[in-house]
Amino acid sequence: MRGYISIGSNIDKERHIPASLQALEQRFGALTVSSIYESEAVGFSGDVFHNLIVGFDSDLDVKAVAKQLRDIELDNGRTRNSQKFSARTLDLDLILYGDLIISDGRLQIPRAEIEKYAFVLEPLAEIAPTEIHPVSGVSYGELWEKFDKTNLKQHRL
């Protein structure tokens, strides 16, 4: 199944993002990797974030994939007591997994952030412009085209 992971870091990002890509590749094989986007912190004041999206293929159950991502976060110094809007070493979110639509506690697929935040949608539209959102039925390229970029505070590195 094709999955997409949102990667973000604003603490020691030059170390944690490459480490996460290496760990993801070891677990899932070849990755499709977007450009890195630098964006201001959302919901709190803090250092800028580096965000990107990776695509991967896996036959694992969705919960097994989510556990792999949590393990990689913990290996990179992520603490579980961090608040939603706070600085972090590494944030790995499974935002899509095939056509699955899941709402099970912390596991939300597709993630609402796809349509809400440019730092998720722009890199996703870059690597999967013709893929279709399983709920809205609209392609990510089209969603990005229609996205309100009025106060966009990010740029491709």
0.85 exceeded by pTM: yes
Instruction: Write down the pLDDT at residue 40.
Output: 87
> Confidence class of residue 45 from pLDDT cuts 50, 70 and 90?
confident
Structure tokens at 42: 């959302």
pLDDT at 28 over 90: yes
Q: What is the pLDDT of residue 112?
A: 96
Provide mean pLDDT across the span 91-112: 95
Region 42-51: what's the mean pLDDT? 85
Mean pLDDT of all residues belonging to the chain: 92
The pLDDT value recorded for residue 84 is: 56
**Cα of 97 vs its chain's centroid, Å:** 12
pLDDT digit string (tens) for 53-62?
999 999 999 9
Q: φ, ψ for residue 109 (rounded to 5)?
A: -140, 130
Per cent of the chain over pLDDT 70 is: 94
User: Cα dist. 95→3, 109, 143, 153 in Å?
Assistant: 8, 6, 15, 21
The beta-strand segments (E) located in the chain are 2-9, 32-33, 37-39, 49-57, 91-97, 102-104, 107-109, 154-156
All domains of the chain in start order, with CATH: 2-149 (3.30.70.560)
CA–CA dist 114, 147 (Å, integer): 11
Helix 62-75, helix 13-28: angle, nearest 10:
150
Q: Is pLDDT of 83 > 60?
A: no
Residue type for 72, please? I
Of 83 and 119, more confident: 119
- Please give the structure tokens belonging to residue 69: 């991502």
Q: Is 43 helix (H, G, I), strand (E, B) or coil?
A: coil
Between CA 93 and CA 119 the distance in angstroms is 13
CA distances (Å), 14 to each of 8, 132, 138, in order?
11, 32, 34
